[in-house]
Amino acid sequence: MPLGDLLPEITLLVGAVIIVLFASFASHERQIWAAGLALAALALAAVFSLMQWQQPPALTFSGVWALDTAAVAAKLLILLTGAIAVALSPDWMRSDRRHGEYYALCLFTLLGVIMMASAHDSMELVVGILLSSTASYPLVAYHRGFKPALEAGMKYFLIGALTNSLLVIGVVLLFGLVGDTDYARTMEVLAASSDGAPLALSVAVACIVLGLTFKLAAFPGHAWMPDVAQGAPAPVAALLTVAPKIGAAVALARFVSLLPESQSWPLIVALIAVITMTLGNLAALKQTDVRRLLGWSSVSQSGYALMAVVVIGAEPQALGALLAFLAAYALANLAAFAVVTHLRGRTALPDYHGLGRTQPIATAVLILALLSLTGIPPLVGFFGKFLLFKVTIAGGYGWLAVIAAINTVLSLFYYLRVIAVMMFKPLEGEVHVLGRWSWLAMLVSVILLLVASLGAEGGLALMDAMRLAG
Amino acid sequence: MILTVAWVAPLLGAIALAAFPRWSETRARQWATAVAALSLLMLVIAWVGFDAAGPLFQHVDELRWVPSIGVAYRVGVDGIALAVATMSALLFVAAIIYPVNTLGQPRQYYAWMLFLQAMSLGVFLALDMLLFYVFFDLTLVGMFFLIGRWGHGTPDVSALKFFLYTFAGSLLLLLAIIGLYLSLDPYTFDMRVLIQQQPLAGSGLYAGLVFLALMLGFAIKTPLVPLHTWLPQAHVDAPGPVSAILAGVLLKMGTYGMIRLPFAMMQATFAKYSLIVGIVALVAILYGALVALGQSNLKRRIAYTSINHMGYTVLGIAVAAALFVDNPAARQLALTGATVEMIAHGLITGALFLICGSFWQRTGDYELDHYGGLAHQVPLLTGFTVLAAFASLGMPGLAGFVAEFQIFAGTFAIYPWLAVLAVLGILLTAALFLDMLRRLFFGELPSHLGQFSELKRAEWGVLGVLSLGILVIGIYPRFLLTLIEASSAILVGGR
């Protein structure tokens, strides 16, 4: 067995196990060391992933596991997301009696998400989705005494249970049709069959895509996202608005690439993209709760990301555009949630009035993050969106780009509302901040955002190297 | 290098203002003035060094930026860009010196002003479409904060409306830019390549869509009727100097963009639709003048005259684009006129909005009916207002006349009936300005205006310089025309 190919994942697994053991024996004051252990595991996993970058695209473990640039890039992004979410947590969780285990759950979630991004086999995909789901349900409801958190956790769990079972049904159907779960074999069989059993295949595809929309927070599996963003602990919200989206987007890109043209999947994905971005933006317009607003904005951003999946077969650069957009989104959204966390999770819009006067740095970070999410140049979000528009137009979906542009204007409205109250309204009440860890994490996230904006060239050169194996 | 210094200096100045929290109001203003003036000086040097017989784009700087998608830092100017940029820099210096209530945040105010100056100059100097778009968008950010923070009335609503409306335009622009970009092989955003290759000539629907998106994007910014509704509110609620910048500089980005992108890069397509664009411009001319006539709010009235004047500019551009008429002289005349109109409107309307700011500083009121009989009390203010108003309505010997004369002469040669109808606009403008002057300065002085004070030194100094510019262009336009004609001749294909 080529165990070396799984070094990053094994590192995460071992790290999580060590943390669980450590947390069972350490005293409450020492539980915070688990954060350090988690960061070390993430860093080590990142190093191992970097070592995989240079290898040619390949499949390993009898073809169920992809080792290609797309998987490695997604892995690195997911690990980075995890690192920032973990760094945001110690101050937030300090008084929680189960502080240590929290980090183990974070690592398990990340492991599941990474499996989604690398899976080259439908069973493998199921395992990844289930692992990331089960590990993140308790994270959302970690504050048991807090009603909104319980509600969010329950909603997340119920929607997850429904979509995950649909996913399994879809995978089983596909297995029945093809006789194998391996992607390479699936593609061969589907391409060879002249009639392709359209109805059964369509049902299977619909179920699998539905299962993935849950992790993507795209329509129709999106309903948990605003509640989780609002009710879950803020660092968990940062993690869950970003990481699963990256894994699911890459998984979806891999999966639709297998399908024969008779399934007309680009049109279906395009429709999902349109509905997702429009719904997310329309719902965000009326929000008076910043975290909920960020949740809905995260839904709409999934819609944009799907634009790249639509043209994944038609445009060679679509995969690069997808990952560039996801990276830009991840950096901006992490920075935004880092600010929310640093401000002790303050969430109602009126609480942000006049924040610019007492918290200039946090305000500046949030403004940069929101402008990047809108896609104002020269922030990195602009390059992400620009590439999306470019591949969509070049792939013959100009109308989709127009709809996305209209949606971007819509989104500007609610992002600006937050910016406007911070800058233009008088200050109300006192502002409390969390602590040094969250301050540092916030700073790191904004520095990453700015570096990515200025170093767009380097990033884009990497994106050109994106390939799917197989 | 010189152009890079011209736009980077204000940006560094803005960063310095943000970085030194202890600077007093006077210090901040002096610093901002000095930096803005340095930027103006650089452009003047570039003007002096501009070779009218040389190539289209001069003073070009080029640096790698994102070569993998064909983006580079490219700046350079032709005569049109240089003239508009220099006017903008002058107006920024004027707006920064002009006294305004900074609501206790002078550093932030001047920092945003300098930021806006850097981005605005960037728009006029960029030779790379993506860079152009970056600057174009960032001006919105600067303006948003200036109106929202230092405006009056309901500034946050106006700022939001302004940003949303014009951002919609710039996204259309982005799509069109991508459309143009994808039509080239290899992909590049270099404007010079696009102007030279005319990639979309004769490609039917695709070219039509790209053209439509470009024109809609710029029409929102210009603004052309019926896409103008963001403008009056933004103007009324913005502080005087910011209004001057909005009218004098930001509106020019729409018409300048029309010349730079669709006019220069899609000549064949523009020619096909030039009559339609001309008719839309005519509607803007008449509608803007008529609505302005109906306003009783000083600032709103001036805001609507901007729509009217930008209509003349667009008319000139549309006429110049009528490629199928074999009359390059007339087309060149119209294009030169359109550019002079941009300069003249910048100076004249800039001055008028600064004057509005002075009224607001003194009374906090824009209602024309609440004024009257000020001519005796404030002769200087009266003098400057009369001069600017007469220039705006196209009095010979002042800047507006030079511009409008050329536009009408060019139009008459190509679309005579458009010219005949558009002249009605001048008549209406005359009526509305004379009515405005009558209501402000003549008749009986209301009792509450007894304390109304004369212009301060900073105010009349600034207005004096702007008025001098208006006079010089009106009497001796040669220095400006040489510069502009050098480029308009190449653009209409005369040289």
Which residue in A304, A391, A418, A424 has the most chain B C-beta atoms within 10 A of its own C-beta, making it the best mutation to test that interface? Answer: A424
For Cα atoms B392, B94, B336, give the angle at the middle one, nearest 5 degrees.
45
pLDDT in tens, B436-454: 999 988 888 888 888 888 8
Contacts of A412 in chain B (CB under 8 A): 163-164, 167
Given B138, B145, B178, which is nearest A390 (Cβ)?
A: B178
* Interchain contact, A401 vs B159, CB within 8 Å: no
Query: What pLDDT was estimated at residue B494?
Result: 58
Among candidate residues A285, A292, A301, the one with its CA nearest the CA of residue A340? A292
Q: How confident is the model at residue A275 (pLDDT cuts 50, 70, 90)?
A: very high
* Interchain contact, A420 vs B138, CB within 8 Å: no
- The chain-wide mean pLDDT, for chain B, equals 90
* Interchain contact, A416 vs B164, CB within 8 Å: yes
A450 vs A463: CA distance, rounded Å: 18
Query: What pLDDT was estimated at residue A289?
Result: 92
Q: Which residue of B has its CA nearest to A379?
A: B134
Amino acid at A10: I
The answer to which of A126-140, A227-241, B61-75 has the lowest mean pLDDT is B61-75
Q: Which residue of B has its CA nearest to A371?
A: B141
pLDDT in tens, A210-225: 999 999 999 899 999 9
Q: Which residue of A has its CA nearest to B105?
A: A357
Contacts of B182 in chain A (CB under 8 A): 390, 393-394
ipTM for the predicted complex comes to 0.84
Q: Which residues in A have their CB inside 8 Å of a CB on B?
A: 371, 376-378, 382-383, 386-387, 389-390, 393-394, 398, 401-402, 405-406, 408-409, 412-413, 416-417, 420, 423-424, 456-457, 460-461, 464
Q: How confident is the model at residue B376 (pLDDT cuts 50, 70, 90)?
A: confident
Among candidate residues A28, A189, A194, the one with its CA nearest the CA of residue A102? A28
pLDDT in tens, B157-187: 899 999 999 999 999 999 999 989 988 888 8
pLDDT in tens, B321-367: 988 878 888 899 999 999 999 999 999 999 999 999 998 888 888 88
Distances (CA, A) of A98 to A22, A105, A234, A235, B414: 12, 11, 17, 15, 81
pLDDT in tens, B179-218: 899 888 888 888 888 888 888 877 788 889 999 999 999 9
Q: Which residue of B has its CA nearest to A368?
A: B141
CB count, 10 Å around CB of A33? 17
Query: What pLDDT was estimated at residue A328?
Result: 94
* Interchain contact, A389 vs B174, CB within 8 Å: yes
B361 vs B363: CA distance, rounded Å: 6
The residues near B277 (Cβ < 8 Å, ≥ 6 apart) are: B215, B270, B314, B317, B318, B321
Contact call for residues B158 and B191 (beta carbons, < 8 A): no
Averaged pLDDT for residues A114-129: 94
Contacts of A398 in chain B (CB under 8 A): 175, 179, 209
Residue A216 to chain B, least CA–CA distance (Å): 26
* Residue A186: pLDDT over 80: yes
Query: What pLDDT was estimated at residue B103?
Result: 82
Contact call for residues A154 and A167 (beta carbons, < 8 A): no
* Interchain contact, A405 vs B133, CB within 8 Å: no
Q: Which residues in B have their CB inside 8 Å of a CB on A?
A: 64-69, 130, 133-134, 137-138, 141, 144-145, 148-149, 155-156, 159-160, 163-164, 167-168, 171-172, 174-175, 178-179, 181-182, 209
* Interchain contact, A409 vs B168, CB within 8 Å: yes
pLDDT in tens, A34-58: 999 999 999 999 999 999 888 888 8
Q: Report percent pLDDT > 90 for chain A.
A: 64
The answer to which of A244-253, A271-280, B14-23, B125-134 has the lowest mean pLDDT is B14-23
Averaged pLDDT for residues B4-26: 89
pTM: 0.90
B124 vs B121: CA distance, rounded Å: 5
Query: What pLDDT was estimated at residue A194?
Result: 67
* Interchain contact, A371 vs B149, CB within 8 Å: no
* Residue A261: pLDDT over 90: no
Q: Which residue of A has its CA nearest to B181?
A: A390
Q: How confident is the model at residue A422 (pLDDT cuts 50, 70, 90)?
A: confident
* Interchain contact, A416 vs B160, CB within 8 Å: yes
The residues near A451 (Cβ < 8 Å, ≥ 6 apart) are: none
Long-range contact list for B355-359, CB < 8 A, 24+ apart?
B355/B240, B355/B381, B355/B384, B355/B385, B355/B388, B355/B463, B356/B240, B356/B243, B356/B298, B356/B299, B356/B302, B357/B98, B357/B100, B357/B239, B357/B240, B357/B241, B357/B243, B357/B244, B358/B240, B358/B455, B358/B459, B359/B298
Query: What pLDDT was estimated at residue A470?
Result: 61
A87 vs A206: CA distance, rounded Å: 38
* Interchain contact, A376 vs B137, CB within 8 Å: yes
Q: Which residue of B has its CA nearest to A374?
A: B167
